[in-house]
Amino acid sequence: MRDESKPAFLEQLTSKLRDRTAVIGIIGLGYVGLPLTLRYAEAGFRVLGIDIDGAKIERLNRGESYIKHIAGSDIAAARERGFEATTNFTRAGEPDALIICVPTPLNAYREPDLSFVLDTADALLPFMRPGQVLSLESTTYPGTTDEELKPRLESRGFVIGRDTFLVFSPEREDPGNPDFHTRTIPKICGGATAACLQAGIALYSPAIDRVVPVSSTRAAELTKLLENIHRAVNIGLVNEMKIIADRMDIDIHEVIRAAATKPFGFTPYYPGPGLGGHCIPIDPFYLTWKAREFGLHTRFIELAGEINSDMPHWVVGKVTDALNRRGKSVMGSRVLVLGIAYKKDIEDMRESPSVELMEILRDKGAAVDYSDPHVPAFPRMREHHFDLKSVELDARTVASYDLVLLATAHSAFDYDLIGQYANLVVDTRGVYLSSLPNVVKA
């Protein structure tokens, strides 16, 4: 018997999701969309993946992975379960659920760039049909779902909460982290209406262990920003503490290790050469931009952003001082940057501070090379270019550089060899715990 309290389309949708007969559409098959695709396939759903990158689509349909920490065998297994990838947006009417997982970068003025989200929505809309749920997972400012996506759906004649369902459910992927997986990371979900929230819960519950409902899409959007701003602010704090400790000739990593022994009231955060990744360096700007609409100036958040953004220049200052003490200048020196991914043991270079370090050093006249086992050749990037390949490390190679700059502490590096043979090491990650005459901590 039909539940009279539910709109007919909602009852049909939730029934198909519960029975796993629904088709799941994932738009954007990158670091967020691809793991989600694999999880839905593993949970027994047929998945249609849509991406504008034809090369990615070809590899996926051959059962190959293009993300290092995702095994090709997992792609092949998903293919056997019915996963298909395409560049054809006209197929957007086939899935019962459409989940948007596309980038939300900043423009040249450090303002939100929603072009990927809006272009994706505009490409999907002509082919959507009644009975679908549309979920946005891309990190954005509070109000995006209500102010941008909802009017677009309504312009096509859909009634939100009756024949189409709209939710925001922010991604929480941590690429390369072996302790957490898509299934085990709780999923925040907010709906444009109460019926939309029901649809969102029905969408994610079969694939995710725990779905956490919130009162609105705006609450869900702000939740994601709070999570990442919390990290950005605390990293800004510890980066400022690092500068203070350095001036006082105190090892900040020793201090953090000691403070972390307190069993309550302290969470350790670690300094570095700047912020990387697609979320933490970018998300604070989404909130500060939106806050201005309400006449608010987010001074605390912006100050943390300034500190973190300035860290590459501070590190280069340490490089300059270290070379000066050896009677060398940055100009003409050979510098090897260790690790250009934004964090250890992955190949993801989005917003990596290592790239900014390389550019500053190059602009100052240094001959810059890099070594990164996860990035064999410097990739094509919109704003950065180096015609370089990763340098293989051995004693002779390490000794041939005037300075080795440790920017990303990959597990694969032989730190004993580097410490033994490098003329100078500037360590931005606290790898070298004991004091070595050729190691400068930054």
pLDDT tens-digit map of 13-63: 999 999 999 999 999 999 999 999 999 999 999 999 999 999 999 999 999
Element (H, E) at 49: strand 46-50
Shared-domain flag, residues 394 and 248: yes
CB atoms within 10 A of CB 27: 28
Shared-domain flag, residues 249 and 197: no
Shared-domain flag, residues 197 and 244: no
Grade residue 7 by pLDDT with cuts at 50, 70 and 90. Answer: confident
- Tell me the CATH number at 102: 3.40.50.720
> Is 220 within a domain?
no
Residue that terminates a domain, selected from 153, 184, 215: 215
Query: For 120-135, what is the mean pLDDT?
Result: 98
Give the global pTM. 0.91
Shared-domain flag, residues 197 and 306: no
Which structural domain range is residue 191 located in? 8-215
Say yes or no to pLDDT of 305 above 50. Answer: yes
Say yes or no to pLDDT of 71 above 70. Answer: yes
Q: How far apart are CA 15 and CA 152, in angstroms?
A: 27
pLDDT tens-digit map of 181-198: 999 999 999 999 999 999
Percent of the chain with pLDDT over 90: 88
Shared-domain flag, residues 35 and 169: yes
> Is 224 within a domain?
no
279 is catalytic: yes
Q: In what order do the strands lie in the sheet with 133-136?
A: 84-86, 46-50, 23-27, 97-100, 133-136, 165-168, 187-191, 211-214
Q: Given 101, 189, 196, 279, which residue is catalytic?
A: 279
pLDDT tens-digit map of 330-381: 999 999 999 999 999 999 998 899 999 999 999 999 999 999 999 999 998 7
Shared-domain flag, residues 185 and 292: no
Query: For 207-228, what is the mean pLDDT?
Result: 97
> Is 221 within a domain?
no
Shared-domain flag, residues 208 and 350: no
Shared-domain flag, residues 208 and 60: yes
Say yes or no to pLDDT of 5 above 90. Answer: no
**Selection from 84, 37, 93, 31 nearest residue 57 by Cα:** 84
Using an 8 Å Cβ cutoff, are 171 and 27 in contact? no
Count how many domains the chain has: 2
Query: For 323-329, what is the mean pLDDT?
Result: 96
Q: How far apart are CA 206 and CA 430, in angstroms?
A: 42
**276 Cβ partners below 8 Å, 6+ apart?**
341, 342, 343, 349, 350, 351, 352, 353, 354
